[in-house]
Structure 1
Amino acid sequence: MGKFLLMLLLLGFLLLVLVQGQATLCMVCSIFVGNTCYEGQGNCTVEQGRGCRTRDIYVFNVRDGFSYNHTQMDCATPCRAWKLIKGDLKVSSFCCQGRKFCNRLQGRSVAKMHY
C-alpha cells in the first residue's frame, strides 16, 4: 500500500509539472504603438486552453478611411481570432500561445500613432 501511495504522489507531481510547463506568459498593454507601451504595461500568464490576445484598433475618417490607432494586448479565455466593424471603429483580434510574449509580435503593433 505504501508503494502505491508513493507512486500516486509522484504521478500527481509529474502532472502538476507538465501542466505548469504549458503556461504561456503574455504581454499586457492598454495602448501600444510603435514598439512602446504608453498605458497599462504588465504581463499575465495563461494556462492551456487560453491565449495571449492582440487587438488592433482602427478609427475611420473621411479622408483616409480606416487608419490604425493603437494595439491592445492581454490574456483571453477563450482566445479566438476575429474582426469587427461597428460604425467608425474596426477591431482585428489575433491569438497565440506556447511562446513567451507571443502577442507582442502580432498585429500592427509597430505602426505610428494616429490620434
Structure 2
Amino acid sequence: MPFILISHLLVSLTSPAPATTCMVCSTFKKGKCKAGKGNCTVEEGPGCRTRDIFYFNIRDGWRYNHTQLDCSTECKSWKLIRGDLKVSSFCCEGQEFCNKYKGKSLYWKPR
C-alpha cells in the first residue's frame, strides 16, 4: 500500500499544471465589456491579468478610465506612472475566469 501512495505522489508532482481559462476584454467599463470580449487559456505560468487604467487631470487627480482583462505568462503585480497615465496590474491563477469582473470598474459609481 505505501508503494501506491508514493507512486501517486510522484505522478501528481510530475504532471503538468492544468490550464486556466481567463476572461479577455480590451475595454471593460461600468461593469460591462465594451470591446474585445473573449476568452484565453494559459497552459503554464501565472494566469489571468487585470489592468486598471487611470488618467490624471488637475481638477480631479487620478480618475479611473477602464480595465483591460487578458492572459499573461509573465504576470506580476505592478504600477506604472508615465505622465498623465497610470496603470495598475495584478494577477490571479488556479481558478477559471478568476479575473472576471475584477478591477475598479466593479465599484464604479456615477457622479
TM-score w.r.t. structure 2 length? 0.79
Q: Is the 8 A contact 1:94 1:106 kept in 2?
A: no
Q: Distance between the aligned counterparts of 1:56 and 1:50, measured in 2?
A: 18
Report percent identity of matched pairs: 61
Q: CA RMSD in A?
A: 2.1
Q: Which residue of 2 aligns with 1:75?
A: 71
TM-score w.r.t. structure 1 length? 0.76
Q: Distance between the aligned counterparts of 1:106 and 1:80, measured in 2?
A: 16
SS of equivalent residue, structure 2 residue 100: helix
- Give runs of ≥4 in structure 1 deviating > 3 Å: none
Q: Give the one of 76, 90, 94 matched to 2:90.
A: 94
| Structure 2 residue ranges without an equivalent (≥5) | 1-10
Q: 1:112 to 1:43 in 2, by over 3 A?
A: farther
Q: Which residue of 2 aligns with 1:23?
A: 19
Rg larger for = 1
Q: Report how many aligned residue pairs link the two structures.
A: 98
Q: Distance between the aligned counterparts of 2:105 and 2:19, measured in 1?
A: 23
| Structure 1 residue ranges without an equivalent (≥5) | 1-13
Query: What is the one-letter code of the residue matched to 1:86?
Result: R
Shift of residue 84, structure 1, vs aligned partner: 0.5
Q: Which residue of 2 aligns with 1:6?
A: none
* Superposed CA offset, 1:74-112 (max 9, x none): 011211110000000000001011111111243213125
- Structure number with the higher helix fraction is 1
